[in-house]
Copies of this chain bind each other. A is one copy, B any other.
Amino acid sequence: MSDYKNIDSYLEKNLDQSLAELSRYVAQPSISAQNIGLRECAQLVKEMLEARGFKAEVMPTEGAPVVFAERKGKSDKTLLIYNHYDVQPPEPLELWESPPFEPAIRGGKMYGRGVSDDKGHLMARLHAIDSILETEGDLPCNIKFIIEGEEETASVHLHDFIRNHKEKLSADACIWEFGGVDHRGVPMQYLGLRGICYVELSVESLGTDVHSGLGGSIFPNAAWRLVWALNSLKGPDERIRIPGFYDDVKQPSKRDRELMEALPDAAEEYKSRYGVKEFIKGLKGGIDLKMEEVFTPTCTICGITSGYQGPGSKTVQPARASAKVDFRLVPDQKPDTVLKQLRAHLDAEGFNDVQIEFLGGEAAARTDPDDPFVKLVVKTSEEVFEMPMQLVPTVGGSGPNYPFVHDLNLPVATAGLGYPDTKAHAPNENIRIDLYLKHARHMARVIKEFAK
C-alpha cells in the first residue's frame, strides 16, 4: 500500500533508536510481585508519552499507579491502547544468559525481563505513533493509553480504576497489551482471556519448629495439613472438588469449536518445547486437547514452601507451610464466588486452620469475532504479515479484559510481537526484532485505518 511508504521507511530507519529507548525502559526494574521499581517505572513511562506530545498523568491506585495519557487527533474516533509496565520476578537468576535488567541484543533478538511482556509492545506502539507524527504531523484519531503496573499480580486494582474513570477512558475500540505469531509464524487474533483467582493458602500449626523425633507422633504438622488441604481441592483425576465450582461454567458454542478446529494441533510442539512426556486426563492432541486447553477452568499449584529445603537431611517438624494456587476461570465464573466456595469447602473438609489470602482475581471475557474493529485489525495484519490472521476464541492465560469488554463496552483486539519462544515469565525472555518492526508497521496501519 503506497499510503504506508513513508511510514514504513521511517520505522526501518529509526529502528535502532527505538530499540535503544526500549533498552532503557527494560533496564528499569518494575517487579509488581516484589514491589520493586514501580513508581520509578511509571514516571519513566509518563515521560516517554510526554515526549510524543501526549498529556500524561501518573494516577494513584491502592497499589501501583496507572499511567493515563491522551492525545487528540483529526477524527472524533478514539482508540484506547492497554499496556502494563510491570514485569514478572526474574528468578531463577542463574538460568539467565545475560542479566535480566541489562538488555542485550544477540542473533536478531533482544533479551531482558519484560522485553516481550510487555515493554516491547508499548515501545513498538510508540514507534508507530512516532512514524505517523513525523510523516503526517498529527494523529488521525484520538489515542488514549492506559498503562497499569499490576498486570503480573492479577491487576488487583485495575477493575475499580476503570469503573471510577469510565468517562476518561471512553473510547470506540481497544488494542490489547499483547499479540503475536504462533509456532508456524501465523499471526493470531486472540479474542478472549480466561479469568483468574489467585490465592495463598497458609497453615501455622505450632509456635515454633520442633525436632521431628518429638513432634511427629503427637503435634500437628503444618506441611501435612497443607498437603491434605490441597489434596482436597483436586485429585489425580484433575477434577476440582470444590462444591459449586463448575456451576457457572458456560459450555463453548458450536462456533467456538469450529474456530478451535481450524487451529493447528500443538501437541508435538508442546512436547518438544516444554518436555511434556504425557498430557494429563489422557489427552493425546487434536480438538480434545485444544478445547481442554482453554475452555476448562483449572486449579494450579504455582509454589509450595515449608520447613527445611537445603541439601541433605534436617529432622525438623515445620510450624508453617504455604502454597500459591491459581484458579483459571472461564465465562461465567467469578473470582469472588470461587473465593467463597473455597472457604466453605475448606471449612467443610475440616481445614479451618488453613488461611486464605486473596492475591488477585478477574473474571473471563471475550470479544465477538465478527466485530468490525476485529475485522480491521485482521485485515491490516494481513497486509503486513502477508498471510491471514487466525481467529482464536479465547486463550488460556488471564488478563483484565473483563472491565474493558463489560464496563467500557469496547471490542478488544490483540496485536503484538510475541512468538512461542519469547519466554515470557521465564529466564531469557526475548523478542525477535523482525517481529518488533512488523508490530510497529501493523499498529501504524491500525491507527490510520481506524480513523477513517
Please report A residues at the B interface, Cβ cutoff 8 Å: 32-35, 88-89, 91, 152-154, 194, 196, 198, 200, 206-221, 223-224, 227-228, 230-231, 234-236, 270, 274-281, 283, 289, 292-294, 296, 298-319, 321, 323-324, 326, 328, 350, 359-360, 395-398, 424-426
10 A-B residue pairings within 8 Å (CB atoms) = A153-B312, A206-B275, A211-B397, A215-B300, A217-B293, A219-B280, A223-B303, A224-B300, A228-B231, A303-B318
Q: Which residues of B contact A33 (CB under 8 A)?
A: 310-314
A312 adjacent to B426 (CB under 8 Å): no
Q: Which residues of B contact A305 (CB under 8 A)?
A: 304-305, 309
A314 adjacent to B324 (CB under 8 Å): yes
CB nearest neighbor in B for A193: B213
Tell me the minimal C-beta distance from A206 to chain B in angstroms: 5
- One of B91, B196, B224, B274 near A207 (C-beta < 8 A): B274
Q: Which residues of B contact A220 (CB under 8 A)?
A: 276-280
- One of B194, B235, B274, B398 near A219 (C-beta < 8 A): B274
Please measure, in the bound complex, the distance between the C-alpha atom of A219 and the C-alpha atom of B194, giving whole angstroms.
17
A395 adjacent to B308 (CB under 8 Å): no
B359 adjacent to A298 (CB under 8 Å): no
B217 adjacent to A292 (CB under 8 Å): yes
B218 adjacent to A279 (CB under 8 Å): yes
Q: Which residues of B contact A289 (CB under 8 A)?
A: 218
B224 adjacent to A228 (CB under 8 Å): no
Give the oligomeric copy count.
2
Interface of A is mostly: mixed
- One of B216, B235, B236 near A300 (C-beta < 8 A): B216
B216 adjacent to A326 (CB under 8 Å): yes
B312 adjacent to A307 (CB under 8 Å): no
Q: Which residues of B contact A88 (CB under 8 A)?
A: 314
- One of B91, B224, B397 near A214 (C-beta < 8 A): B397
CB nearest neighbor in B for A210: B274
Q: A91-B308, A211-B426, A218-B279 provided; 10 other pairs, C-beta below 8 A? A: A33-B314, A34-B311, A194-B213, A223-B301, A223-B303, A224-B234, A228-B235, A228-B236, A231-B231, A304-B309
Please measure, in the bound complex, the distance between the C-alpha atom of A212 and the C-alpha atom of B325, giving whole angstroms.
10
A426 adjacent to B302 (CB under 8 Å): no
Tell me the minimal C-beta distance from A86 to chain B in angstroms: 11
Of A208, A293, A312, A326, most buried by chain B (CB within 10 Å of CB) is A312
A425 adjacent to B211 (CB under 8 Å): yes
B298 adjacent to A216 (CB under 8 Å): yes
B303 adjacent to A304 (CB under 8 Å): no
A275 adjacent to B313 (CB under 8 Å): no
CB nearest neighbor in B for A297: B217
A218 adjacent to B314 (CB under 8 Å): no
B306 adjacent to A307 (CB under 8 Å): no
Please measure, in the bound complex, the distance between the C-alpha atom of A314 and the C-alpha atom of B200, giving whole angstroms.
11
B302 adjacent to A313 (CB under 8 Å): yes
Tell me the minimal C-beta distance from A266 to chain B in angstroms: 10
Tell me the minimal C-beta distance from A157 to chain B in angstroms: 13
A313 adjacent to B206 (CB under 8 Å): no
Of A208, A279, A350, most buried by chain B (CB within 10 Å of CB) is A208
Please measure, in the bound complex, the distance between the C-alpha atom of A312 and the C-alpha atom of B283, giving whole angstroms.
32
B425 adjacent to A314 (CB under 8 Å): yes
A300 adjacent to B212 (CB under 8 Å): yes
B308 adjacent to A89 (CB under 8 Å): yes
Of A91, A219, A228, A293, most buried by chain B (CB within 10 Å of CB) is A219
A301 adjacent to B227 (CB under 8 Å): yes
Please measure, in the bound complex, the distance between the C-alpha atom of A219 and the C-alpha atom of B208, giving whole angstroms.
37
Q: Which residues of B contact A224 (CB under 8 A)?
A: 230, 234, 300-301
B213 adjacent to A397 (CB under 8 Å): yes
Q: Which residues of B contact A425 (CB under 8 A)?
A: 209, 211, 314-316
B396 adjacent to A213 (CB under 8 Å): yes
B213 adjacent to A395 (CB under 8 Å): yes
Of A154, A214, A307, A323, most buried by chain B (CB within 10 Å of CB) is A214
